[in-house]
Structure 1
Amino acid sequence: MEFMSALGSQEDAYRPSLFELDAQQKLRELLQPAVQYVLAIYAQRYPRLLIRVVNYHEEFYAILMFFIERHYLKEWGASFAENFYGLKRVSSAYLNSNKFAAVNGAQSSTPPLTRNQITKSLLVLVGLPYVKCRLDLFYSQISGGLSASILGGNEQEEREAEELSDMDTPARRKLAIRLTQLFRKVYPYINMLYHGSNLAYNIAYLFGKTKYYSPWLHLIGLEIKRMSMADYRTYYDKLAQAQPKNQSTSFLSTSFSTMSGVFSKVIEFLKVLLPMSIFFYKFLEWWYSSEFARGGNAGALGDGESEDTIPPPEKLKADPRGTPVPATRNTCPLCLTSPINNPTALPSGYVFCYTCAYHYVEEHNRCPVTWTKVERGIEGLTKVYADVM
């Protein structure tokens, strides 16, 4: 992102700010829940095709990102998120041996990443997050979850203690239990060290104490730099040279080059598609947490009633075989007493005197007006009370 160059230091105009690096990291973290949400929606429509993909989402996402990241590392020398923000990966050894190129990156493009550097980058970009995700999931399963941390109890630990004390438990099972207990105790410290080291490198990078904003980049010897015009020019020149110029080439080679070109265009289109899926995911996240989704859209729009208000059921009509409804209001259809004495309603909605309704339902088990059956008998009678001001 060219407009962010003002935030860099004057000594190295191509050194990205921590805000740029944090933005691309946030983009990468939002990709997985967005893809998972989209898959879950379409799995409801096509369960036979996508239910297994949803059940093994972590593996599917890791494979998907492997091909995407591999393409961007080979073509652009950067991960997908880094390329989205106009960043690239450069070997620290190259920058140390070429001080002029490190400071004046616009003069010439940096060399592409080697196969070894691409492999190490894929391990950090794809392998490490996948392993971390599986470890987090396993720890949440064996630690008892949030209820155990709040209530101070863990049923799984009690079952493990019973199995260890049982003489019939196989030795292999006891070893697995002890390793699980060891992992449960050690993993929180490993997790703290993981996030703490990232935070320490972020702070050190912010104050210019290190060239790496994460320990993993330091480990594989790669720095993050802004892309220059020379890098873009080199990429598009390479695309132009890759176009087949000789029309007499074989059909197989032409088909292969066409398929590879289509694949590259599809991968490049993900630069637009994946951020759109993140926007869609965040929009739905906001929508379901807003007043509109909680049924408060009537108050927000200023209308008297919500559009989702369920209308009352239609009034049951009197059956010709039943007792006729009196013309005057507040009159019992059975004894014609007005006002109704101790009013009682039937499930049909009509109101009678309590004694009249009780004896009629007890004898006929139906409403005297609509002739609808009263399923619960006299237990279906409901007393009606009026507010007296």
Structure 2
Amino acid sequence: MSESANLRQNLQNVPSIFEITAAETLDSLIYPALSKIFDYLNLRLDFKLFGPYRLQEELSPFLTWALQFLYLRNRGSSFGESFYGLQRTDSNTGEILSRGHQFTSASILTFMPYFERKLKTRSANHTEVSIWERHLLNMFHAYHASKAIHTFLYLIKYAGSHSPIFRALRLTLRYPIEPPKDDKTTYVFLKLLEVFAFFLQFIQWWYSNDQRRKIGGTLKNPIPYKGDPVNLKDNDTRKGNCPVCLMKIDTPTACSISGYVYCWRCIISHLKEHSTCPVTGYQITVDDLVRIYET
């Protein structure tokens, strides 16, 4: 009789795949939202290491890790999982996370998406990708395929976890039997962070709309640049020549911010070291480049 009651209670504590997906989506918004905020405030780690090497990195991954570890330590769940009332427990004993599981879970939640995003960005920007980076990308593809299989098995009640990482760590997601017990200061602080989730959603919505405005037909013509060219040795560039290599343009590529046209290879090589238009000095990225196709 008691075994039947425990089985029924465990089945009732199992969250649906939709709640798990919603929690994962909320977790995935933390890093890009913080990145946009820090980019706007121009806050980055930038200092000389040794010789010509410099450390130029974002603050977002470290703050994301600290936020996730805080929730895992106090609630036994990630930021998104706590928002939806879920908790990570040991799949064998049902106990809450140990300190080692907290540290490992926070690191996986933060740095796996971070490195995957970096590798995909390097590949999309036609940056030279080493062999081990290609292997890492293939491993990420294999992981996502494995996760899709686990999700399907979890959906049909054949697997106890929705992710190969949860299975490897012997963890599972459940609804907590008792609400988390926090002191007043911690409770208020975590509640403020949960309110921050709506701000994350707003940042994501704003950024996606901004990207659609860039891609859509409402793109305004660039304002003509009236100053002197910057970062160029020869200011008397002939019409039809690339302002960087001063040769006839090969694979013409226009900058949507300044309107100037360059060789594809020249402007990509320039952006690897500088994030500005070679002629105007305006801030640009690879997303601001538009290939020109002759008809």
Residues 31 and 64 in structure 2, CA contact (< 8 A), matched pair in contact too: no
TM-score scaled to structure 2, two decimals?
0.59
- Structure 2: distance between partners of 1:221 and 1:185: 29
Alignment match, 2:205: 282
Runs of 4+ residues deviating >6 angstroms? none
- Structure 1: distance between partners of 2:26 and 2:140: 21
Residues 29 and 200 in structure 2, CA contact (< 8 A), matched pair in contact too: no
- Structure 1: distance between partners of 2:104 and 2:187: 22
Q: Deviations over 1:174-229 (max 9, x none)?
A: xxxxxx3x33654453232121011111111111111111100111111001234x
Q: Deviations over 1:115-150 (max 9, x none)?
A: 122122123222333333344345456xx36xxxxx
Alignment match, 1:70: 69
Query: The residue matched to 1:93 in structure 2 has which SS?
Result: coil
Q: Deviations over 1:5-49 (max 9, x none)?
A: xxxx99711101100111111111222222222222233xxxxxx
Alignment match, 2:91: 92
Alignment match, 1:15: 14
Deviation, 1:280, is: 3.2
Query: The residue matched to 1:118 in structure 2 has which SS?
Result: helix
- Structure 1: distance between partners of 2:146 and 2:174: 21
Identify if the C-alpha distance between structure 1 residues 280 and 134 changes in structure 2 by more than 3 Å, giving closer, same or farther: closer
Q: Deviations over 1:287-335 (max 9, x none)?
A: 66369x9669xxxxxxxxxxxxxxxxxxxxxxxxxxxxxxxxxxxxxxx
Structure 2: which 5+ runs fail to align?
A: 1-7, 47-55, 220-295
Residues 28 and 81 in structure 1, CA contact (< 8 A), matched pair in contact too: yes
Alignment match, 1:200: 149
Among 106, 125, 129, the residue aligned to 1:122: 106
Alignment match, 2:225: none
Q: How many residues of Structure 1 are paired with residues of Structure 2 in the alignment?
A: 204
Alignment match, 1:39: 38
Structure 1: which 5+ runs fail to align?
A: 1-8, 44-49, 96-110, 146-155, 158-179, 241-260, 297-389
Deviation, 1:83, is: 0.2
Q: Deviations over 1:37-81 (max 9, x none)?
A: 2222233xxxxxx2548x522xx2221122111111111111111
Residues 31 and 278 in structure 1, CA contact (< 8 A), matched pair in contact too: no
**1:113 partnered with 2:97:** yes
Residues 161 and 167 in structure 2, CA contact (< 8 A), matched pair in contact too: yes
Identify if the C-alpha distance between structure 1 residues 22 and 51 changes in structure 2 by more than 3 Å, giving closer, same or farther: same
Alignment match, 1:231: 179
Residues 20 and 85 in structure 1, CA contact (< 8 A), matched pair in contact too: yes
Alignment match, 1:362: none
**1:213 partnered with 2:197:** no
- Structure 2: distance between partners of 1:89 and 1:216: 12
Amino acid corresponding to residue 104 of structure 2 in structure 1: K
Amino acid corresponding to residue 143 of structure 2 in structure 1: Y
Amino acid corresponding to residue 205 of structure 2 in structure 1: K
- Structure 1: distance between partners of 2:189 and 2:139: 39
Amino acid corresponding to residue 281 of structure 1 in structure 2: Q
Alignment match, 1:133: 117
Query: The residue matched to 2:113 in structure 1 has which SS?
Result: helix
Alignment match, 1:270: 193
Residues 62 and 130 in structure 1, CA contact (< 8 A), matched pair in contact too: yes
Greater strand percent: which structure? 2
**1:56 partnered with 2:40:** no
Identify if the C-alpha distance between structure 1 residues 285 and 189 changes in structure 2 by more than 3 Å, giving closer, same or farther: closer
Identity of aligned residues (%): 21
- Structure 1: distance between partners of 2:83 and 2:31: 16
Query: The residue matched to 1:212 in structure 2 has which SS?
Result: coil
**Mapping 1:275-314, distance limit 5 Å:** 275-286=198-209, 289=212
Amino acid corresponding to residue 123 of structure 1 in structure 2: S
Residues 30 and 278 in structure 1, CA contact (< 8 A), matched pair in contact too: yes
Residues 150 and 163 in structure 2, CA contact (< 8 A), matched pair in contact too: yes
- Structure 1: distance between partners of 2:134 and 2:155: 33
**Mapping 1:336-355, distance limit 5 Å:** none
Aligned-CA RMSD value? 3.4
Greater helix percent: which structure? 1
Amino acid corresponding to residue 88 of structure 1 in structure 2: Q
